[in-house]
Chains A and B, each alone.
Chain A
Amino acid sequence: MKRLAWRRLLAGATLVAFVVPLLAACTTVAVPVETEAAPAGPIQGGTWTEASSADGTILNPILASDSASFDMMPYFPGLLGTNPKTGAIEATELAESWTVSEDSLVWTFNLRPGVTWSDGEAVDAHDFKFTYDAIASELVETPRKANVAGIDSIEVIDDLTVRVTFSDLKCDGLLDLGLGWLPSHLYAGDFSDIMDSPLNTAPAVTAEAFGFKEWQRDNFIAMESNDGFWKGAPNMDGQIIRVIPQASSRLAALENGEIDVMGLEPTQLTRVGLNPDLNIFKFKDDGYSYIGLNQANPANPLPGQDEDGNLVAQDPHPILSDPMVRKAMAHSLDYEAIINKVYLGQGYKLASNVLPAVGWAHDASIEPYAYDLEAAAALLDEAGWTDSDGDGVRECNGCATAEAGVTLSLNLKTNAGNSTREELGVLVQDQLNSIGFDIEFEAIEFGTLVGELLGQTYEMVIIGWTGLGTDPNDDSFWHSRFDTPGSGFNFVSYQNPRVDELLELGLETPGCAAEDRAPYYYEIQQIIHDEIPYLFVTGSIGNVGYSNRWEGIDPGTWSFSWNIHEWALTE
């Protein structure tokens, strides 16, 4: 279960289909279920059915890395809750309260008493410690090792008190503690049976609203309600997630009443909107689409820092390392037309890297670049990129970054199969070519694109981030430390010592108070806006279509199903 969303590159063919699993995470707020005013009480029974575009891979929160899997395992309790509407971290899960040391390194969590696994065993501090120790264990092969990298120690003070000591101050460190807990009493203490445990495909116990019933791969997963759920027994009998890979087949199933909820693509909005049996929940989700501009030479990718942490001078890209060229690009895209035509209105203009969803850190005063072809052309002229031979493509005639005569030719890539991005690519190609660029656009298989991106062997890429979460820290995109060819996410080779410094200050602010951190992020946004490592195309808007045969659904931006145990059939 994904309690605290982690950042993830937007990979799926559909934006929304990818976001729904994040939303479906059961971040729940304790609310008494029964109200005296309704003597009859909600209708009991019924099965809530979701559609997922992909099957899960493994039902173990420390081994899984795909959102479909997390959606299919709402069995494992977590330490911290997220407010479904604001995204703020709250004491709505197993941590009832906590204290933090003055240096913000030592966190002591007081756990909720009386919570049990469905087999009657108590959910306690040992489960938490076991889970995180397992991640660190050499016996466990998991991509989640980073979650424990910043943790110095986890001590069980008593069954209901656990102390986590971080090795360095990291204001978003709590996000590392967001994984679901394993039932430690069902595993060997030395972690030797975690990798091949039958529990990975058939979890035996639950401490959440639903328990595992049956999983037929690539077909469906069925879960039964857990009457012993500490927030209250669900009204429904259970929940089913069906794997329906095709978006239009999912829509047909929703219209047919075979499923109750699905993430909608922009093209599906009209049909769902006209259907009296369906509702739409629209929200600004925590992601954005952009065009990444590789500022380093793709033929010679270099790390951003040497072993001692000193900046390494990059072999500059002959075209994209020129800030005037990047600025001309920013001015030559008609963002409004792109959002309306390509995203069918499901987007909003964005000026820099911190999303409005993170209100306290978002600088709303920065204006997005205006669509201004004249300004763009003037910038290119000024930068020494002019069309001297009249073939419509500019060449370097006195430019600062390339040899004379080099044409303004660039390659733009995206992942094949994502029709929105493919359309965007064609439009971008058209708009940039109209002012003298020569853009070659190609859509390639996602796995191949990943290799080129992280390998830093591409020039321009259309891609997006989703699940950016509630913290404005995005150092992995900009800090020179993360410019590591082959693995780092600063794959645009962005290098600015001031931004490095600001990112570190923002993350290591004593006390981690929002008002103290905000100025750093304001300055970062201004610099990112000015230096244009990304062309910010649009902020993401998600749409979820769901059946109105259920009542009590109260979706929030950060969780759709946070109060699923209170939902009930209307008749």
Chain B
Amino acid sequence: MTRYIIRRFLQAIPTLLGISLLGFTLIKVAPGDYVLMTTFDPSITAEARDEFRRQLGHDQPIPIQYVEWLTGVSLRGGDVVDAMVPMSNSCHYFGSLGFTLCDRGGGLLRWDLGYSLATKEPVWDMLRSRMPASFELGAVVLVLVFLFGVPLGFLSALFRGSAKDQGIRLLSVAGQAVPSFWMGLICIFVFSVLLGWLPVGGRMTISLDMKFSLVDRIRHLILPSFVLSLAGVAFLTKLVRTQVLEVIEQDYLRTARAKGLGSLALWTRHVLRNAMLPLATVLGPAIVGVINGALVIETIFAWPGMGRLTWFSALQRDYPMIMGAVMFYSALTILGYLISDILYAVIDPRIRLQ
């Protein structure tokens, strides 16, 4: 198992490099650019804009910019050591080759995602600062989804064809069909504006002398986590229902029952365990999805999570920030699938990781 995990991690390196190359190229080739976006102001002259672009190195060809982002090494044609402030002291001009090489510091290979263009803050710090909010919401949603999705699916299968089953199935279709932005706005209107029970949005009540209050945090979590978990609960209910129905049709269950196995043991040891297998497939990516953030819910409920950070960086064409988010999510996705695979092996002894 350990060797398997190590091998998977090593395999991830070329994958991530490939993603970085592809991601960087796509972002750079896409229309619009950071300098244009920030200087889209008629009081800013073309000269000022060109100067800004040159300072940021955005006037360079894409491969050179990529290498710069990846390694922290800048390459410029000609002897431009003096012009490469503030890193002139780490520059060297190679006269025979006719170019200047500067060590700018940082770069992905040195485990550094660089600085956001817009905020001048380290990309990693920006990502990290949004994680608590995303994790908090994500964890609650994940718990809610499994807490409600699994039992509801079971019940539905258990009472197949009954009114209970019909009711649960209707709810799960509705849960998946209702758009979350609409549900979010309705919830805000009913529970915040009309009834005044819950706050409109945000992660906490904001005041000048804030103190941590668990009750306050929970009050802020209720609406977004409810709305965000709806689709998940609906999806899981359907998945579990289908799985359970499939499992109870199997011959070995009939055999087990014929051998006199008790109902409880039958359900927990055989049905549950076998029906859980596909859940393991879902869990890994679900964890990733939950951490990646939920842009729509974050927007409606003013939740300061990672989805909005990524979205706004993309709108602003803040390349280092976008790339940081891309790399982070990619790594997370690889990790998520690895978790799924390991879970698989844990639940199903027939599967061996090699």
Q: A349 interface residue, CB < 8 Å from B?
A: no
Q: Is the CB of B55 within 8 A of A220?
A: no
Interface residues of A in 169-189 (CB under 8 A from B): 175
Q: A282 interface residue, CB < 8 Å from B?
A: no
**Can you give 20 contacting A-B residue pairs, CB < 8 Å?**
A7-B41, A7-B42, A55-B312, A57-B316, A139-B85, A141-B55, A143-B48, A196-B120, A200-B121, A201-B119, A220-B202, A220-B206, A222-B206, A242-B206, A243-B302, A252-B188, A445-B32, A447-B32, A474-B42, A477-B42
A8 to B196, CA, bound (A): 39
Q: A454 interface residue, CB < 8 Å from B?
A: yes
Q: Is the CB of A252 within 8 A of B192?
A: yes
Instruction: Encode contact with A along B82-102: 1 for CB under 8 Å, 0 otherwise.
Output: 000110000000000000000
Identify A145's interface contact among B42, B51, B86, CB under 8 A: B51
List A contacts of B41 (CB < 8 A): 6-9, 65, 143
Q: A213-B208, A217-B304, A252-B193 are in contact. Are A139 and B38 (CB under 8 A)?
A: no
Q: A370 interface residue, CB < 8 Å from B?
A: no
Interface residues of A in 115-163 (CB under 8 A from B): 138-139, 141-147, 149
Q: Which of A9, A138, A147, A196 has the most CB of B within 10 A?
A: A138
List B contacts of A476 (CB < 8 A): 42-43
Q: Is the CB of A256 within 8 A of B203?
A: no
A139 to B55, CA, bound (A): 9
Instruction: Encode contact with B along A230-257: 1 for CB under 8 Å, 0 otherwise.
Output: 0000000110101111101100110110
CB distance from B179 to the nearest CB of A (A): 14
A358 to B207, CA, bound (A): 40
- State how many residues of chain A have any CB contact under 8 Å with chain B: 71
Identify B40's interface contact among A195, A238, A258, A450, CB under 8 A: A450
A195 nearest in chain B by CB position: B120
Q: Is the CB of B206 within 8 A of A448?
A: no
Identify A252's interface contact among B200, B305, B315, CB under 8 A: B200
A255 to B55, CA, bound (A): 46
List B contacts of A54 (CB < 8 A): 312
Q: A47 interface residue, CB < 8 Å from B?
A: yes
A489 to B36, CA, bound (A): 11
Q: A295 interface residue, CB < 8 Å from B?
A: no
Q: Is the CB of A450 within 8 A of B86?
A: no
Q: Is the CB of A252 within 8 A of B189?
A: yes
List B contacts of A300 (CB < 8 A): none
A244 to B51, CA, bound (A): 34
Q: Is the CB of A57 within 8 A of B119?
A: yes
List A contacts of B40 (CB < 8 A): 8-9, 11, 450, 454
Q: B79 interface residue, CB < 8 Å from A?
A: no
Q: Is the CB of B206 within 8 A of A65?
A: no
Q: B272 interface residue, CB < 8 Å from A?
A: no
Q: Is the CB of B199 within 8 A of A217?
A: no
A9 to B36, CA, bound (A): 12
Interfacial residues, chain B to chain A (CB-CB below 8 A): 30-33, 35-52, 55-56, 85-86, 115, 118-121, 126, 129-130, 133, 185, 188-189, 192-193, 196, 199-203, 206-208, 210, 299-302, 304-305, 308-309, 312, 315-317
Q: Is the CB of B44 within 8 A of A144?
A: yes
Question: For chains A and B in complex, what number of residue pairs have CB atoms within 8 angstroms?
Answer: 180
List B contacts of A238 (CB < 8 A): 208
Interfacial residues, chain A to chain B (CB-CB below 8 A): 6-9, 11, 47, 49, 54-55, 57-58, 63, 65-66, 138-139, 141-147, 149, 175, 192, 195-196, 200-201, 213, 216-220, 222, 224, 237-238, 240, 242-246, 248-249, 252-253, 255-256, 258, 445-452, 454, 465, 474, 476-477, 482, 484, 487-489
A271 nearest in chain B by CB position: B193
CB distance from A318 to the nearest CB of B (A): 24
Which 8 pairs, one residue from A and one from B, show the smallest C-beta to C-beta distance? A447-B32, A145-B48, A218-B304, A219-B304, A487-B46, A476-B42, A146-B48, A57-B118
Q: A142-B52, A201-B119, A218-B309 are in contact. Are A244 and B304 (CB under 8 A)?
A: no
Q: Is the CB of A240 within 8 A of B207?
A: yes
List A contacts of B32 (CB < 8 A): 445-451
B39 nearest in chain A by CB position: A143
A453 nearest in chain B by CB position: B40
Q: A9-B40, A242-B202 are in contact. Are A447 and B31 (CB under 8 A)?
A: yes
Identify A253's interface contact among B85, B119, B201, B207, CB under 8 A: B201
Q: Which of B55, B115, B201, B305 has the most CB of A within 10 A?
A: B201
Q: Which of A142, A175, A482 has the most CB of B within 10 A?
A: A142
Q: Is the CB of A146 within 8 A of B43?
A: yes
List A contacts of B305 (CB < 8 A): 218
Q: Is the CB of B45 within 8 A of A146?
A: yes
B84 nearest in chain A by CB position: A138
CB distance from A83 to the nearest CB of B (A): 21
Q: A141-B55, A256-B193, A258-B199 are in contact. Are A249 and B120 (CB under 8 A)?
A: no
